[in-house]
Amino acid sequence: MEILKADNRHVLAIERPQFTFEYLGMKFTKDAQEYWNLQNQLVAMTPEQVTEVSAFLSSVEPSPELSAKVAENYRNRKFLQDTDWYVIRQAETGVPVPQDILDLRGRARAAIHEL
């Protein structure tokens, strides 16, 4: 299962779309049309590749619900990452994590959607 993102719109796909070029991943926005090739190098798309990807994206229906879940997951994971230092400090020094941080971390973990 793949989640495709273009211009902050998300589309759920059963498998990665096939194009005439092989890729590991891609960025496709108004400002950047790039893909990671099989050597994991970021490469600018040719005009033909941009046309091919644009045609594909125009043929699929974006999912506002999926976009909202992806955004919420990002915010929750970012909060967990930003507060990991409390947990590390407790493990290394024994200083307890404040209860309000523990509560917020628990709510953030519980709010992460399965996609």
What pLDDT score was predicted for residue 57? 82
Same-domain status, 58 and 69: no
pLDDT at residue 110, as a whole number: 96
Residues 8 and 28 in one domain: yes
- DSSP secondary structure of 28-42: ESSS-EEEE-TTS-E
Task: Determine the pLDDT at residue 82.
Answer: 97
Closest alpha carbon to 50 in 28, 18, 24: 28
Rg (CA), the chain: 19
* Cα distances (Å, whole numbers) of residue 47 to 30, 51, 65, 78, 111: 13, 6, 31, 35, 40
**What pLDDT digit, counting tens, does each position of 57-108 carry?**
888 777 778 778 888 999 999 999 999 999 999 999 999 999 999 999 999 9
Residue 115 covered by a domain: no
| pLDDT at 1 exceeding the cut of 60 | no
**pLDDT per residue over 4-55, tens digit each?**
565 566 665 556 788 999 998 888 888 899 999 999 999 999 999 999 998 9
Domain span at 87? 65-110
E strand or H helix that includes residue 10 = strand 9-13
Residue 61 carries which DSSP code?
A: -
